[in-house]
Amino acid sequence: MDESSLMPLEGALRWGAAAFRMSTVPLIEKIFAAAMVVVCVLLLLRMLLGPRRRSRVDASLRRNGEAWQRRVVRVIGWPAAELRARRETKEAIRRARRSAIERDGNVLTPKAFKGRRRDLH
């Protein structure tokens, strides 16, 4: 095989990769357009409902929307809460290690008992 027979294949691979990159933009536009069509159809169906049923559907959507919002906020805030909890745990362990307690074997004696006793009355 000579080099000239490989050139069209190499060019096709290069063109295929470029075409793949170019084809993602129309795909995103199609997905966005499909989502807008679904939203419009749902709003049209909502308009066809009677007033009592529409208010029940709206209340249900509002309730479910609030629940989903809480879930999303919890998922987004979880890493920060975990880091804060780890930091507080490390700080508590550090404070416990340098506390005002003397150890004599398994007996713990607070250092506050070592000094002069104050008369509290």
**pLDDT confidence of residue 42:** 93
Domain housing 75: 65-98
30 domain residue, yes or no: yes
> How many distinct structural domains can be found in the chain?
2
81 domain residue, yes or no: yes
104 domain residue, yes or no: no
**pLDDT confidence of residue 60:** 92
- Taking residues 33-50, report their average pLDDT: 94
Which residues partner with 104 through β-bridges? 107
Residue 62 to residue 83: CA distance in whole angstroms: 32
**Could you tell me if 42 and 11 lie in one domain?**
yes
What confidence tier does 12 reach under pLDDT thresholds 50, 70, 90?
low
Tens of pLDDT, residue by residue over 47-92, are: 999 999 999 999 998 999 899 999 998 888 888 888 899 999 999 8
**Could you tell me if 47 and 70 lie in one domain?**
no
What confidence tier does 34 reach under pLDDT thresholds 50, 70, 90?
very high
The CA-based dihedral angle spanning residues 9, 12, 16, 17, taken in that order and rounded to the nearest 10 degrees: 70
- Taking residues 13-17, report their average pLDDT: 56
Longest dimension (CA), the chain: 106
87 domain residue, yes or no: yes
**pLDDT confidence of residue 97:** 75
| CA contacts within 13 A on the Cβ side of 95 | 6
35 domain residue, yes or no: yes
**pLDDT confidence of residue 35:** 96
